[in-house]
Amino acid sequence: MTEQTIGLISFVLTLMVFSYVLGDLPLIGALYRTAIYIFVGMTAAFTLVVSYEGLILPYLQDIQNTETSWTTLGYQADIYIFFTALLFGLLLLLKPIRAFTWLTNSAFAVVIVVGAAVALAGALAGTLFPLLRATVTIPENLTADFSALVDTLTVFIGTMTGLFYFQYQARANSEFGEEHSRLTRAFRHTGKVFIVTALGAIYASAILTSLTILSERISFLFQFGF
């Protein structure tokens, strides 16, 4: 495809999607909707092709012979792995059939538990330890700089109360109901201040991201069309 063709198609499709701002008028609504359906069809196609070419095809190469094999386990071991995976895929399809429930459940158990285990190991080593360590570590130059001391303390208090707020929220909804201790209230509200602040910043950041993307689209429309 030449750049001109790409530009032209992009131009038309961009306008089709932007027609959304005009509301759901009889013809214009159809433009937007058509663009969305084109997009979904194409996403499905690309995802399918990438899943096949990016993973299944390499494994098909792998299990043929030693020359095309690329794993350290060797192609014979991979044959077992690959066909077990195929079996799992088949079980996915069999799920609605009651008679196989016990079998499919065992397969799903493997999938879920491995996923949960990976998430567990990652959360420990990648979030919990480093973040807690960073929050309780006292920077070297702290004593010299009063504002740095205040900031470090604020981050510490904010993190801890925020976390408390989380846990409190979780429990208040299930087991204990409303709690009225003044201390927990203070903790909860302090935590909430930090959480709402963080959410506000995330919201503002989302606005900035979408504005950046809008500026790119408008820039393209002007460059190509007007």
Residues in 165-204 that interact with other proteins by CB under 8 A: 165-167, 169-175, 191-204
Among 65, 76, 143, 219, binds other proteins (CB under 8 A): 219
Binding of residue 104 to other proteins (CB under 8 A): yes
Binding of residue 92 to other proteins (CB under 8 A): yes
Compute the least distance from the CB of residue 146 to other proteins, in Å. 14
Residues 24-63 binding other proteins (CB under 8 A) are: 24-25, 29, 32-62
Transcribe the chain into DSSP letters.
--HHHHHHHHHHHHHHHHGGGG-S-HHHHHHHHHHHHHHHHHHHHHHHHHHIIIIIHHHHHHTT-TTT--STT-HHHHHHHHHHHHHHHHHHHHTT-GGGHHHHHHHHHHHHHHHHHHHHHHIIIIIIHHHHHHHHPPPGGGTT-HHHHHHHHHHHHHHHHHHHHHHHHHHHHHTS-----HHHHHHHHHHHHHHHHHHHHHHHHHHHHHHHHHHHHHHHHHHHT-
Binding of residue 20 to other proteins (CB under 8 A): yes
Compute the least distance from the CB of residue 64 to other proteins, in Å. 10
Binding of residue 65 to other proteins (CB under 8 A): no
Per rule CB under 8 A, count of chain residues that contact other proteins? 155
Among 79, 82, 149, 184, binds other proteins (CB under 8 A): 82
Closest to other proteins by CB, 70 or 138 = 70
Among 142, 179, 214, 225, binds other proteins (CB under 8 A): 214
Binding of residue 10 to other proteins (CB under 8 A): yes
